Structure 1
């Protein structure tokens, strides 16, 4: 049976849109940075402290990429020494629902894995992506 061209085209467009999104949000840290900034404006040092495991160099790189894509903005404060804050842009807030959905899925997945480990008497450890 030959596939319906409209369904094939819709699938292709969906895959392209997902690919574009993943390109912008690629890497381990961007979604976490966006999620943090959806709650409030933060200084560089606060982000570095709150996002466990990220290096300063990586945080700088990710912040620049998010800024280039218009998802966050960098605000230089008129202080001495100079302080910098980052905040989500109006456009960036369009990702808040996505970050909440990802967090909810991750929480549910973690609970599922923990329950599975308890049923099979596997020693408790932090669930990892399987």
Structure 2
């Protein structure tokens, strides 16, 4: 087996990081959920209203996966009836710059292609 050149090794490490990130945020909902939560804690029903097209089962599944990976937390509020808020964790906040750049690039792309915001 040939030894990796530094450039090749750097490239492979870069690709591994991208693969891990894509596996974490696969599908069309997780990044949208994280983006919504960067604006503050939300109830389940608020998330359903903000994220157009997501169903109850899918939202529940995605929230569980994000919580399992330490990106969000589920806060149960002792009220009548019991209320649940979802909030981004400190670790989840590390995704914020990526989400902001995706939003910026998407808006720039929209202008470029469609000529509108």
Which residue pairs with 1:113 in the alignment? 113
Which residue pairs with 1:103 in the alignment? 103
- Give the TM-score taking structure 2 as reference length: 0.93
Q: CA deviation at 1:85?
A: 0.4
SS at match of 2:94: helix
Which structure's CA Rg is the greater one? 1
Task: Report the count of equivalent residues.
Answer: 113
Unaligned 5+ residue runs, structure 2?
Answer: none
Q: After superposition, where does 1:20-99 map in structure 2 within 5 Å?
A: 20-99=20-99
Q: 1:12 & 1:20 partners in 2: Cα distance? A: 12
SS at match of 1:40: coil
Q: CA deviation at 1:79?
A: 1.2
Q: 2:50 & 2:10 partners in 1: Cα distance? A: 39
Unaligned 5+ residue runs, structure 1?
Answer: 116-125
- Give the TM-score taking structure 1 as reference length: 0.84
Q: 1:87 & 1:44 partners in 2: Cα distance? A: 11
Which residue pairs with 1:9 in the alignment? 9
What's the RMSD between the two structures over aligned residues? 1.3
Q: CA deviation at 1:57?
A: 0.8
Q: 1:38 & 1:114 partners in 2: Cα distance? A: 27
1:47-106, Cα deviation, whole Å (9 max, x unpaired): 000001111111001100000000000001101221110000000000111100000011
Runs of 4+ deviating beyond 3 Å: none
